[in-house]
Amino acid sequence: MIEVRVKLTFPEDLVREPFLARLARDHGVEPNIRRADVSEHEGWIVCELAGEPAKVEGALAWLRLEGVRVDLLGDVVES
């Protein structure tokens, strides 16, 4: 298992989509929200994503493909 801290930034057309639910359900990654600011027009979430390394990497790639900006914050923490 690894844990990665990321900042996810959502443009206006994606701000209402349930991305964190999909991460857990479809990608086997457990998100832990640490900080967030979401409005009608934009939003960002700082969260830790925990899971198997390949699943976390796949989830991050999927988010980028969907149009979410993904910024890695700090080192990967292995548990």
Domain that holds residue 6: 2-78
Using one digit for the tens of pLDDT, what is the confidence trace for 14-66?
999 999 999 999 999 999 999 999 998 999 999 999 999 999 999 999 999 99
CATH number for the domain that contains residue 14: 3.30.70.260
Q: What is the pLDDT of residue 79?
A: 44
Residue 59: exposure state from Cβ atoms within 10 A (0-12, 13-18, ≥19): buried
**Domain tally for the chain?**
1
Looking up tokens 């801290």 gives: 5
| pLDDT band per the 50, 70, 90 thresholds, residue 78 | very low
Q: Report the alpha-carbon distance of residue 34 to residue 31 in Å, rounded.
A: 9
